[in-house]
Chains A and B, each alone.
Chain A
Amino acid sequence: MVAKQEHIFQALSHVMDPEIPTLSVIDLGMITDVITSNDGVTVKLLPTFVACPATSVIKSNIKETLEKAGIRNVEVLLEDSIAWSSDRVTEHGRKLLTDFGLGAPVQIDGVLDNVQVEAATCPHCGSANTTLKSFFGSTLCRSIHFCNDCHQGFERFKPL
């Protein structure tokens, strides 16, 4: 029996990023294709940052989660023909990031410029009057900022 796409995507929405546990691989725009056949299911996974240590964990979590959902013969392949961009994070994902306390990345439309690197919206009060404190944060995908209105520091998911 061929597994249903809807069923697979439903299961994938429960595979979370280990570093931002409220965001799923779907929210992050990491799934580029799901191929179903009589033999099983192939999921194509697009890694975010090249050195992200979570990639291998996510890969095995996908397999485990889908198998628990009753989907058999799951294969997860890494997509290397295209590059991931933070523009792939869904609207829902951006809202989850803010709820989690992380600033959401701005849209870069292909080319990352200096203004986009610095411009962050405070996840606590929504102010855009913020200052970049450090290009690097507690994980590869975060930078550190300070809100000049509510006077709190915050981390932001980097635009890439």
Chain B
Amino acid sequence: MSEAIKELLYKIADSELVIGHRGSEWTGLGPILEEDIAFSSIAQDQLGHALANYTILNTEFGEATPDALAYTRKETDYKCCQFVELPIGEYDFSLMRHFLFDHSESLRYEMLMSSSFGPLAALAKKIKGELKYHILHADLWIQKLGNGTEESHARMQTALNEAMPYALGIFEPGKYEEELISSGVFAGEKKLQELWLERITNVLDKAHLSMPDISKIEPKFGGRNGFHTEYLQPMLDELSEVYNFEPTATW
């Protein structure tokens, strides 16, 4: 059982670490000051959530310290989905990724609030309110730009079409799926995807954006099993550069 829970924790923590780092790349570059602050704040939350999950791995399962887990593992040990690894691109893509990923994260924690694994259930309850702000922010901008000008609508539609194969990769099933479901730890990626499709379709409709036909899309799987895009390793090098300069330093 502990292997199954550990894998789930790594999947959550690694994705939050990587998307949090990507979000932080907007600091100083946001299209308007409020959006610069929004992406930076959301990134800060996500790094905090990653830390909380790494802390559970450390205290409940004896894994390495959170810093060591974040900074010293091999690329193939990371269990993040490929979606979060992609470069930030233009603001339209980053906003669409924020919308698609954060809805999945918000629903995942909603499901985990009733988890039979106590520490994760407690964390999910703590994080719930914070994610509410992420979702409100994402939904607002998806609708503003979807219903904005011809150009903003076209750009959001293109971003959605390009993001969707990767977004579906969030829900790549792991080898412990059945175990997690039957033990009441987590109701599973399939269930999560169902709930997610319902939520995002609702907002996309209001934004007059067309949901691509997902039955014709091949999801970008691999990340949850350690197979990553060419973008992850350079990002990890940058992320851990200061830490690895003097790993034994006390901060």
Which chain A residues lie closer than 8 Å to B125 at the CB level?
83
Q: A49-B45, A135-B38, A136-B42 are in contact. List 11 more A-B contacts (CB 8 A).
A: A50-B48, A50-B49, A51-B46, A51-B47, A83-B129, A85-B129, A114-B136, A134-B37, A135-B140, A138-B37, A140-B44
Bitwise, B104-148 to A at CB < 8 A (1) or not (0) is 000000000000000100110111111011001100100000000
Q: Are B137's CB and A135's CB within 8 A? A: yes
Cβ of B41 < 8 Å from any Cβ of A? Answer: yes
Chain B, Cβ-Cβ closest to A83: B126
When distances are taken between beta carbons in the complex, the residues of chain B under 8 Å from A85 are: 129
Question: Nearest chain B CB to A87's CB is how many angstroms away?
Answer: 11
Interface residues on B, range: 20 to 34
Task: Say whether, besides A117-B136, A135-B137, A136-B137, A144 and B34 are in contact (CB < 8 Å).
Answer: yes
CB distance from A45 to the nearest CB of B (A): 14
In the assembly, what is the distance between CA of A112 and CA of B37, in Å?
Answer: 22
Q: How large is the interface on A (under 10, 10 to 19, 20 to 34, 35 or more residues)?
A: 20 to 34
> Do B122 and A81 touch across chains, with their CB atoms under 8 A apart?
yes
The answer, yes or no, to whether B51 is at the interface (CB within 8 Å) is yes
B37, B40, B48, B136: the one within 8 Å of A49 (CB): B48
| Contact flag A51-B136 (CB < 8 Å), given A135-B38, A136-B34 | no
Hey, which chain B residues are within 8 Å of A143, CB to CB?
A: 133
Q: Say whether chain A's binding surface is mostly helix, strand, loop, or mixed.
A: loop
- Are A134 and B45 also in contact (CB < 8 A) when A49-B130, A117-B133, A160-B130 are? no
Which chain B positions have C-beta within 8 A of A51? 44-49, 51
Most buried by B among A51, A52, A138, A160: A51
Q: Is B52 an interface residue (CB 8 A)?
A: yes
Complex Cα distance, B125 from A158, in Å, reads 17
A123-141 interface with B by 8 A CB criterion = 133-138, 140
Q: Taking the complex as formed, is A80 at the interface, i.e. its CB lies under 8 A from any CB of chain B?
A: yes
Residues of A within 8 A of B123 (CB): 50, 80
**Chain B residues closer than 8 Å to A84, beta-carbon distance:** 126
Structural contact, A160 and B129, CB atoms closer than 8 A? yes
Contacts of B42 on A, CB cut-off 8 Å? 136
Asked whether A80 lies within 8 Å of B133 as measured between CB atoms, the reply is: no
Q: Give the chain A neighbours of B140 by CB distance below 8 A.
A: 135
A residues less than 8 Å from B47 (CB atoms): 51
How distant is the Cα of A113 from the Cα of B95 in the complex, in angstroms?
23
